[in-house]
Structure 1
Amino acid sequence: MIPLIVLCVFAFVVVLLLVLVIRTFNTVARLRNATDNAWAQIDVQLTRRHDLIPNLVETVKGYAAHERQTLEAVIAARSAAISAQGPTQQAQAETALSGTLKSLLSLTESYPELRANTAFATVQRELAAAENRIAYARQYYNDAVLAYNNAITTFPTNILAGNAPAKFYFGTSGDERGNVQVKF
C-alpha cells in the first residue's frame, strides 16, 4: 500500500504541472491574439492612409495636370498597397507607396499655388497624422511579434507551442534605412 503522503505529493505535482501547462498554453494564445490585434490596428491606419490618397491626388490634379506620370504612380502604388497580404508583402507595398507620395508631395516646390491651397494643406496634415499613427501601430505590432516569437521559441513554452508559426515583423526596405538627403 502506498502511503497517503506519497499520494498527496503525487497529486500536488500533477495538479501543479496541469496548472503550468494551462498557464503556458493560455500565454501563447494571448500573445498570438495580441499580434493579430496589433496587425488589425495597422490595417485600420493603412486604410485611413489609403482613403486620404485619392483626395490628395484630386487636389494636385487641378494644379499639376501635366504631372500625370506621378499621379498614376501614386494611384498604382495605392492599389498595390490595398491588395497586399501579410506583413512582408504589406511592408514592401507601403514602402513603394511612401516613395510615390514623397514625389507627389514634392510637387509643391514646383507649384507654390498648390502649397497655398487649403484643401491640399488639410489633406497633407491629415496624411502626416496618419503616417505618425502608422509608425506607432507598426512599433506596437513589432513589439507584440517579439513577445510572441520569444514565447514560442523559449523553453518550456516552445514545448507546448509545438509547431506554432513565427510571426513576421513589419519592416522597412533598404531605401528607408538610408541617410536622409537634405538639399538647400
Structure 2
Amino acid sequence: MTTVTAVAGGIVCLLLIVVVAVLVATYNRLVRLRNQADASWAQVDVQLKRRYDLIPNLVETVRGYAAHERGTLDAVVAARGNAMSAAQGAGPASRAVAEGELTSALGRLFAVAEAYPQLKANENFAALQAELSTTEDKIAYARQFFNSAIQSYNNAVQTVPTNIVAALTGFRAREFYQAAGDERGPVRVQF
C-alpha cells in the first residue's frame, strides 16, 4: 500500500509542477505580448511627436508666402494643438480622431501651397514637405506594427487556455488603432 501511495503522491507532485510551469510560462508570454504592444504604441507616439515638431516650421514657412491664408494656417495650428492634447493619456480611438483632423488640416495647407509657385520652389518648404512625407510613412508603419502587436496580444488574451490565466491575472483585450475618415487613404504630399 505504501508503494502505491508513494507513486500516487509522486504523480500528483509531478502534475502540480507541470501545471505551475504551464501557468508561469503562459503568464510570462502574456507579459511579453503586453510589453510588445506598449513598445509599439510608444513608437507611434514618437513618430507623432516628430510630426508635431515639424508642423510649426511648415506653418511659418507658408505664412511667409501666403500670409492672407490665415484661416488655413490657424486651422493647422489648432488641429496640432488638439492632437497634442489628445496625446495626453488618450487611447488609440480618441487619438485617431484628433490625428484625422490634423491630417485633414495639413491636406488643406498643402492645397493652399499649390497656389503659390514661389512657395513650392522654396527649398525650406520642399525640405519640410519631404520630411513630413517621410514621417507620415513612418507613422503609418508604426501604426501597422502597433495593430499587429495588439492582434497578437488580444489573440492570446482571448483564446483557450491563455484566456484563463489572463482573466485571473487582469490582462484585458486592447483596442486597435483605427484611422479616422481622412486618414484612411494616403496623405497627398506633392512636390
TM-score between both structures, scaled by the size of structure 1: 0.93
The aligned counterpart of 2:181 is 174
Compute the displacement of 1:30 (Å). Answer: 0.9
What is the distance in 2 between the residues matched to 1:121 and 1:146? 37
Compute the displacement of 1:86 (Å). Answer: 1.6
What is the distance in 2 between the residues matched to 1:125 and 1:180? 12
Matched, 1:63 2:65: yes
Letter in 2 for 1:164: F
Letter in 2 for 1:99: S
What is the distance in 2 between the residues matched to 1:104 and 1:76? 13
The aligned counterpart of 2:75 is 73
Contact 2:54 2:132 in 1 (8 A): yes
What is the distance in 1 between the residues matched to 2:187 and 2:41? 28
The aligned counterpart of 1:36 is 38
The aligned counterpart of 2:172 is 165
Compute the displacement of 1:88 (Å). Answer: 0.9
- Does the C-alpha gap of structure 1 residues 180 and 74 become closer, same or farther in structure 2, counting only changes over 3 Å? closer
Say how many residue pairs are matched.
181
Contact 2:51 2:135 in 1 (8 A): yes
Gaps of 5+ in 2: none
Superposed CA RMSD in Å reads: 1.8
Cα deviations by residue, 1:100-140 (Å, 9 ceiling, x for unpaired): 00110112221011000000001001100100110110000
Of the three residues 83, 97, 100, the one matched with 1:95 is 100
Contact 2:79 2:105 in 1 (8 A): yes
Gaps of 5+ in 1: none
What is the distance in 1 between the residues matched to 2:32 and 2:105? 38
Compute the displacement of 1:164 (Å). Answer: 2.4
Partner-residue secondary structure (3-state), 1:3: helix
- Does the C-alpha gap of structure 1 residues 113 and 77 become closer, same or farther in structure 2, counting only changes over 3 Å? same
- Does the C-alpha gap of structure 1 residues 153 and 77 become closer, same or farther in structure 2, counting only changes over 3 Å? same
What is the distance in 1 between the residues matched to 2:92 and 2:102? 15
Contact 2:80 2:102 in 1 (8 A): yes
Contact 2:93 2:177 in 1 (8 A): yes
- Does the C-alpha gap of structure 1 residues 124 and 178 become closer, same or farther in structure 2, counting only changes over 3 Å? closer
TM-score between both structures, scaled by the size of structure 2: 0.90
Cα deviations by residue, 1:50-92 (Å, 9 ceiling, x for unpaired): 0000000000001001100000000000001111122111111
